[in-house]
Amino acid sequence: MTGVRSRQEKVFEAMAHAVLILLTVLAVAPFLLMLSGSLTDNATLTRYGYQFWPKVFSMEAYEYIIREWAQIGNAYFITIAVTAAGTVLSLFLVSTASFALSQKEVPGLNVVFVLILITLLFNGGAVSSYIIYTNLFHIKNTIWALLIPNLMLNGFNLILVRNYMMHSIPEELQSAAEIDGAGVFKIYLKIILPLSKPIMATVGLLTALGYWNDWTNGLYFITDSNLYSVQLLLNKMNENIQYLASHSELGAVQQSLPGTSIRMAIAVVGILPVLIIYPFFQKYFAQGITMGAVKG
């Protein structure tokens, strides 16, 4: 009978649900441990390790964040500003370039597209990139060091958006707009961008996460503590504590450095905006990835 599932289908569905539940638990567990660690007394956390429920509840880590908000808040502001500016600029560059590359009648665009694909497979390496950014662009110890390198690495996003524009937006809409006298910029603003909302939301989320979690550019190009992002600040804390832990004669100094619970609290505060914003983009994410995928 139509609509009646076979035994094999029921077994497969049960196994699929079990796998998804397991993956969900594995994904959520680290966040719960991080939150529990931020609410645990640091001495208890050091002695007993991470637990899903605080053995000795303490708000000391968050009190530390409030006391040291001058530095932590500045890092937080830097991260928010770079993420917002980088995401907006990246979406503008990706959408305009994708719109140009999606025009089939323009000669030579396939060559440009192949060159973009090559940049995804090969790069100049860390040393040459560092020399170019520092000696040519002079971005060291400037806010541009946190912005420009990621802005130049959007080939994958460009492919997603281009394929979406080519296969999900009817060419007849552009032809009709051209007949009505609309120019290229009007077509881009009035037709392409509104219809590209799902893929733009998806790419915007991926780009924002990339900027928010980035610490390598700060590690390479930033030595001024006033330009530290949240992720770079956490990395510096870990480096300092690991260094002191390896030198027993400096053990007394280690007591003045942020403990494990404080680092967990900073990580919790750092990830909150992502957890708040993500649900609003979730409905576009799967749709944008599917429609923007390479179609044969």
Q: Write the pLDDT tens digit of every residue in 141-156.
A: 999 989 888 886 677 8
pLDDT at 3: 56
pLDDT at 183: 82
Does residue 120 surpass a pLDDT of 80?
Answer: no
Confidence tier at 286 by pLDDT (50, 70, 90): low
The highest-confidence range among 17-21, 251-255, 283-287, by mean pLDDT, is 17-21
Cβ neighbours of residue 40 closer than 8 Å, sequence gap 6 or more: 51, 54, 55, 56, 57, 58, 261
Whole-prediction pTM: 0.76
pLDDT at 119: 77
Strand partners, 57: 40
Q: Write the pLDDT tens digit of every residue in 255-283.
A: 445 577 887 888 888 788 777 777 776 66
pLDDT at 295: 47
Rg (CA), the chain: 24
Q: Write the pLDDT tens digit of every residue in 179-205.
A: 878 788 888 888 888 888 888 888 888
Confidence tier at 290 by pLDDT (50, 70, 90): low
Strand partners, 40: 57
Per the prediction, the chain carries an average pLDDT of 80
pLDDT at 249: 46
pLDDT at 69: 82
**What's the CA gap between 117 and 267, in Å, rounded?**
35
Which helix (H) or strand (E) segment holds residue 289: the answer is helix 260-292
